[in-house]
Amino acid sequence: MSTPIIKVDAISKSFGSFKVLDGLSMQVMPGEKLALIGPSGSGKTTILRILMTLEKIDGGHIQIDGEQLYHMERNGQLLPADERHLTKMRQKIGMVFQLFNLFPHKCVIDNVTLAPMLTKGTPRAAAEKRAMELLDMVGMSDKAKSMPAQLSGGQKQRVAIARALALSPKIMLFDEVTSALDPELVEEVLNVMRKLAAETDMTMLLVTHEMGFAHDFADRVLFFDRGRIVEEGKPDEIFRHPKQERTQGFLKKIIAAGHRV
Amino acid sequence: MTQWSGYLGLILQGALVTIELTLMGSVLALIMAFLAGMGRVSRFFALRWLATVYIEFFRGTSIFVQLFFAYFVLPLIGLELTPLQAGVLALGLNVGAYAAEVVRGAIQSVGREQYEACIALNFGRWQGMRHVILPQALLIMLPTFGNNAIELLKATSVVSLISLADLTFQAQVVRSQTGNTLVPFATILIIYFALALIISWGIRSLERRMARGLDGVRV
């Protein structure tokens, strides 16, 4: 049995007096596709942001690929990570945001090539070649020279996925990547993600309200509530036969809101 | 009948000095604005402190006093400046202090999501600043930079007080030699106004060029 690529151990995090994560622990195996579901404020987005080092943690430990994320081992002691250690660790992780966060002053291909050129020193020609392959994969190669403002939300999100992939991370985090899209644009982004899951062995964590997609896409579903994982299991178990009352209540509300499960 | 053409030549010479002062002062102001403005958002306390002291001091004291200080007081500690050097120094430092706050405000007005994208793509702090934040912030700074440059242009007239032969100085020369007030001062009024228009126009076209493709992003 292989070792987990992500090991989250008793992470706690508060915003002011509000405890978002309450001693959260979880493990993810390499190549696993995980769906994180739950009501808003349950901490599912926060744990993604913590894995991307966008938030500080109050307590606990995280291991990525066998190495501490927020700590460095020095002479057998665990010290808080410095910028250099974080930079090294971030190479393993990529993230796609709900609001795309494209660079508005750069055209599509420059959005994709900037990170490899800056952080890996990839020559422009090689970075552009790779970018075109990625843009091709997400169906955006014909818009390589367009500015983000000229794209639809779905197109922006597909570019954002290509941009994150350009650094070849081992782990990809998707934070409600279709929540900001018009309904008719959701499917084009989900299709890209299906393709990604089928063609790569990347570990993927996805926070989503698209229960139907989570069901088809995920190997495992985690249900979050009040900063903890209340229930986890295979998609069929969680969606068809939830054991916990809170999971049942949440799914009932989601279905009442018209989402397909 | 006064020979106006000779006097006009005098005023045009003054205009050259005013333009020179404005250009050199603006360059210094721009450098100071970026140094102090980025110092204000530095994560190092000492830099933040230094930038704040500079900004508050030069905004809080009169440019008049600053100029006299540069020209008359600095020589007492062995720093002899020509009137032009003193003028550029005072104007650049004074306007730079105002513009530094413009730089800070613009940097901070770039959305948090852009900073987060920089972290997620593993840029170093400086890389993100240089390639993502500043290019967007620059566009926000430009209109106010235009104001600052016009302020600087108008403030150049104070250098006439340390006998630098700028527009205002030459107008006074013409006035004392001809006894006519209307003609020299109406002339320099028009010249100042024309120069300010050129600055406005220059900034606006720069803005248009930089905003190309960003439609929908700018408000």
Q: Least CA distance to A115: which residue of chain B? A: B121
Compute and round to an integer the Cα radius of gyration of chain A: 19
If you average pLDDT over residues B103-108, what whole number do you get?
Answer: 96
Q: What ipTM, to 2 d.p.?
A: 0.92
Which CATH code is given to the segment(s) B8-211?
1.10.3720.10
Res A247: pLDDT:
92
Query: Does the pLDDT of residue B217 top 50, yes or no?
Result: no
At residue A119, the pLDDT reads 94
Q: Which two tokens stand for residue A259?
A: 């989402």
Beta-ladder partners of A173? A95, A205
Choose among B114, B125, B127: nearest Cβ to A101: B114
**Contact between B199 and B153 (Cβ < 8 Å):** yes
Average pLDDT estimate for A49-73 = 93
Q: Rounded to 5 degrees, what angle do the CA atoms A227, A229, A231 make?
A: 145
Pairwise CA distance, residues A133 & A147, whole Å: 19
Average pLDDT over residues B48-70: 95
Quote the pLDDT of residue A25.
95
Q: What is the pLDDT of residue A253?
A: 87
Q: What is the mean pLDDT of residues A71-77?
A: 85
| Whole-number pLDDT of residue A261 | 56
**Least reliable range by pLDDT among A68-82, A200-214, B141-155:** A68-82
Chain A residue numbers with beta carbons less than 8 Å from the beta carbon of B214 are: 104-105, 147, 149
Average pLDDT value for chain A: 92
- pLDDT at position A76 is 81
Average pLDDT over residues A132-155: 94
User: Is the distance from CB of B22 to CB of B88 less than 8 angstroms?
Assistant: no
- Closest approach of A105 to chain B, Cα-based (Å): 6
Those residues whose C-beta lies under 8 Å from the C-beta of residue B22, and which sit 6 or more positions away, are: B149, B152, B153, B156, B195
| Domain limits, chain A | 102-168
Q: Per-residue confidence at A259, pLDDT binned at 50, 70, 90?
A: low
> Which pair of structure tokens corresponds to residue A203?
């570990």
Please report residues of B whose CB lies closer than 8 A to that of A107.
213
* Residues of A with Cβ-Cβ distance to B130 under 8 angstroms: none
H helices then E strands: how many in chain B?
9, 0
* A177 Cβ neighbours under 8 A, 6+ residues apart: A96, A97, A98, A157, A160, A161, A189, A193, A206, A208
- Non-local CB neighbours of B74 within 8 Å, separated by 6+ positions: B80, B81, B86
Which of B117, B139, B213 is opposite residue A147, by nearest beta carbon?
Answer: B213
pLDDT at res. A79:
87
B55 and B100 Cβ atoms separated by less than 8 Å:
yes
Q: What are phi and psi of A74, to 5 degrees?
A: -130, 115
Nearest residue, CB atoms, A149 vs list B116, B127, B214: B214
> In this predicted structure, what is the pLDDT of residue B218?
42
Q: What is the pLDDT of residues B157-210, one digit of tens each?
A: 999 999 899 999 999 999 999 999 999 999 999 999 999 999 999 999 999 988
Query: What is this structure's pTM?
Result: 0.87
Mean pLDDT of chain B: 93
Chain B nearest C-alpha distance from A236 (Å): 32
Q: What percent of chain B has pLDDT over 70?
A: 96
